[in-house]
Amino acid sequence: MSTNTAAQTIFITGTSSGLGKLTAIHFAKMGWNVAATLRTPENEQELRQYGNIRLFKLDVTDLDQVRTAVDAAIEAFGKIDVVVNNAGMGTYGPLELAAEKDIDWQFAVNTRGPINVIRAFLPHFRQNGGGMFINISSFMGVTTAVPLGSLYNMSKFALEGLTEGLYYELKPLNIELRLIEQGGSSGNNFTNNIIWNRDEKITVYDEMMDKLSALMGNRDNSQLDDPQEIVDAIADLATGVNSKFRTVIGAAGNSLMALRNSVPIEEYLETMAQNNR
Ligand SMILES: NC(=O)c1ccc[n+]([C@@H]2O[C@H](COP(=O)([O-])OP(=O)(O)OC[C@H]3O[C@@H](n4cnc5c(N)ncnc54)[C@H](OP(=O)(O)O)[C@@H]3O)[C@@H](O)[C@H]2O)c1
């Protein structure tokens, strides 16, 4: 049975931590209904404190769970206005050393997951005469910056391509698409990062792997984006204050994209390669 059809409703994936959880709480405080989805709702306490947040179990790679969660959220709230594809993780390391399962999982969570959720919502949005998908990407989805991130780049570039490509078929249906390119954000865990194991016989990547481990282990929070800035950007998109297709957050992402757009790709790649030496 519907609980409240007057308020706007947002459906968010990956609300157990980081950006997803902050976004759920922010929209609840704004008076929206929130369908907060996560893999382990049984472990969640904080989100249960809000009367307008309902929890739904959802692993975005599990098609049955996606359909069940989407149906249950629609049943609970009557109408969903905005869907945020936030769930994500990163696998990092030399492609040569990646486990097959890690390659597939990177694509399954960051790319196939949003596809699953978008497809599950399209009948509802068509029936409502519109809706909005906000896809959480990264500046790593529009440019490259460091070695050993190729699979993460691949997954977010694919998400960007999916979102751009869908514009043409969903715009006539009044279904809006938005992308957030966030940089590194403090306060977010990015808990699911995987850095794969070394191979004792293949040592050529060791130095790069040491640098990556140091970079990930010693993230300087003062250099990272404020997660509240990202949450505010999501709110501005959901409420129509900002209608940009791509919203880039943070100095790092903005300067990298400005460089990428202003020089030939060969020059960009060589500049970044030298920065990483
Ligand atoms: N943090 C950064 O520096 C950064 C930079 C650029 C882009 N991003 C993007 O921002 C988004 C949010 O990340 P975050 O920084 O907030 O990291 P986070 O704290 O690790 O949050 C990631 C969320 O995704 C969920 N998730 C992972 N695999 C899932 C699956 N198969 N099904 C459903 N949920 C799943 C996690 O749930 P569990 O607790 O169940 O694992 C968690 O709730 C991601 O799309 C990420 O790629 C982050």
Helix axes of 63-77 and 113-128: crossing angle, nearest 10 degrees = 30
Cα dist from 198 to 95, 132, 150, whole Å? 12, 42, 17
**Is residue 222 among the annotated active site residues?**
no
**How, if at all, do strands 194-195 and 91-92 pair?**
parallel
**Is residue 16 among the annotated active site residues?**
yes
Spell out which residues line ligand 1, taking CB within 6 angstroms: 13-20, 38-40, 58-61, 86-89, 109, 136, 138, 182, 184-185, 188-192
Active-site residue among 21, 79, 152, 155? 152
What residue's CA is closest to ligand 1, atom 39?
16
Encoded tokens for 228: 């509240």
Active-site residue among 21, 79, 92, 137? 137
Task: Return per-residue pLDDT of the chain as tens, 277 residues.
Answer: 444 446 999 999 999 999 999 999 999 999 999 999 999 999 999 999 999 999 999 999 999 999 999 999 999 999 999 999 999 999 999 999 999 999 999 999 999 999 999 999 999 999 999 999 999 999 999 999 989 999 999 999 999 999 999 999 999 999 999 999 988 776 566 666 777 778 889 999 999 998 888 877 776 666 677 899 999 999 999 999 999 999 999 988 999 999 999 999 999 999 999 998 8
Specify the ligand 1 atom closest to the Cα of 40. 40
CATH topology of domain 9-275: Rossmann fold (3.40.50)
**Spans of all domains in the chain:** 9-275
Nearest Cα neighbor of 183 from 19, 54, 31, 1 is: 19
Q: In DSSP terms, which residues pair with 35 in a beta bridge? A: 11, 54
